[in-house]
A and B are shown apart, each in its own frame.
Chain A
């Protein structure tokens, strides 16, 4: 009889072998999944349901995203796209805004050639539009990078 009970117990424990793994997957996602938080205009990378800060994303000094998501190959590729587009995008938008400001200022001065004003305005608009496109590509790549990283935590 005792052998029968042992056989039932062993069978049951083998059947439950998958359950702790599922629990482990959920815990891994809860603790390690990455996301972006917007904190007073800053992009902050946080980890897990508790929202533990990992670092900021910035132009001059910031987080090494490729290293952060290095455990996932696809996430690393997307992080590379983000790095490639983010800094030039920010720079182009900033220069474009300065050019539009200069155009606006030159309009207030009587002696300035109107061609300069128009040129500055068009250059500014072009730079802002192109830079915004690069920034959009960067943010999409960032979103995809975290998506892949988080997805691989579930597998």
Chain B
């Protein structure tokens, strides 16, 4: 009699435990966004066994972050994780694809790409203008228009840097929304 209660208890726990687990698993994308962005095949697809698939899934569940380095930024998964890609100064890593599991992250990623390209372009033109202005000021061709060229170039650099700054704020937000989706 007692063993029947034990089996009933065990069966109830098993059935509902499995259904809860299945519900959690269905919330995750079949192919991880990181694998999709980098073109890497998920571990399960290459038949390395369930242990490899589990560790790959666990690694993909780690939150994303970025670290900047002189005009570009590495997108990193986890505390010491791999660098998934580098963005900035005309680099074309597809952030939108990486964060595609979260619609709000995609919106911010798009904002980042627009602002970053615009900012990089205008600040580069500004830097070139300032350089030309300084060269002209040092030569015999120096005239009243030289300060205007330098000031215009400096203004363009300022405007461009402001846009790059806005872009990185959008990237930070994109990764935040993506990590929030992962936390669910």
Contacts and interface: CB of A to CB of B under 8 A. Distances in A.
Contacts, number: 91
Nearest to A142: B172
Nearest to A41: B162
B172 A26 contact: no
A4 B183 CA distance: 37
> In terms of DSSP, what is the predominant structure of the interface of chain B?
helix
Interface string A103-128: 01001100000000000000000000
B12 A140 contact: no
Nearest to B76: A147
Interface in A15-33: 15-16, 18-19, 22, 25-26, 29-30, 33
Interface stretch (A5-13, A57-65, A79-87): A5-13
B68 A139 contact: yes
Given A35-B172, A37-B169, A10 B68 contact: no
B9 A33 contact: no
Interface residues of B, number: 37
B9 A10 contact: yes
A56 interface: no
Interface of A: 3-4, 7-12, 14-16, 18-19, 22, 25-26, 29-30, 33, 35-38, 41, 49, 104, 107-108, 136, 139-140, 143-144, 147-148, 150-151, 153-154
24 contacts: A7-B9, A11-B8, A11-B9, A11-B16, A12-B15, A16-B17, A18-B20, A22-B24, A29-B183, A30-B183, A33-B183, A35-B173, A35-B176, A37-B173, A104-B147, A104-B150, A107-B137, A136-B69, A140-B67, A140-B68, A143-B66, A144-B65, A147-B65, A150-B179
Interface of B: 4-6, 8-17, 20, 24, 63, 65-70, 79, 137, 147, 150, 162, 165-166, 169, 172-173, 176, 179-180, 183-184
